[in-house]
Amino acid sequence: MNDRYSRQMLFKPIGSKGQAKIREKHVLILGVGALGTHTAEMLVRAGVGKITLIDRDYVEMSNLQRQHLFTEEDAQKKWPKAEAAKARLQKVNHEVEIAAIVGHADASLLESLLQGVDLLMDGTDNFEARFLLNDLAQKYRIPYLFGSCVGSFGMAFTIIPGVTPCLQCLLKKLPLQGQTCDTVGIIEPTVQMVTAHQGAEALKILSGNIEAVRKAYVSFDLWHNEYVSLKADALKDSQCSSCGYNATYPYLQEETGLKVAVLCGRDTVQIRPTATKHLSLDDLAKQWRSAGFMVGGNPFLVSVVVEGKRMVFFQDGRALIHGTNHVDQARKMYHSFIG
Ligand SMILES: [Zn+2]
| Local confidence pLDDT in tens for the 339 residues of the chain | 569 999 999 999 999 999 999 999 999 999 999 999 999 999 999 999 999 999 999 999 999 999 999 999 999 999 999 999 999 999 999 999 999 999 999 898 999 999 999 999 999 988 889 999 999 999 999 999 999 999 999 999 999 999 999 999 988 766 555 445 556 889 999 999 999 999 999 999 999 999 999 999 999 999 999 999 999 988 999 999 999 999 999 888 866 445 777 776 678 888 888 777 788 899 989 988 888 888 999 999 999 988 888 999 998 888 999 988 888 888 888 888 887
Angle, to 10 degrees, between the axis of helix 81-92 and the axis of helix 34-46?
A: 30
Runs of H (alpha helix) within the chain? 6-10, 15-23, 34-46, 72-76, 81-92, 107-113, 127-140, 167-173, 188-206, 281-290, 327-338
Smallest CA-to-CA distance from 275 within 318, 312, 335 is with 318
User: What's the whole-model pTM score?
Assistant: 0.89
Q: How far is the CA of 164 from the centre of ligand 1 (A)?
A: 8
26 Cα–ligand 1 center, Å = 24
Q: How far is the CA of 322 from the centre of ligand 1 (A)?
A: 36
For residue 242, report the distance from its CA to the centre of ligand 1, in Å.
Answer: 5
What is the pLDDT, as a whole number, of residue 257? 46
CA of 313 to the centre of ligand 1 (A): 37
Q: How far is the CA of 146 from the centre of ligand 1 (A)?
A: 13
For 241-244, the CB contacts below 8 A with 24+ separation are: 241/168, 242/131, 242/134, 242/135, 242/138, 242/166, 242/167, 242/168, 242/169, 243/138, 243/161, 243/165, 243/166, 243/168, 243/169
| β-bridge mates for residue 159, sequence order | 144
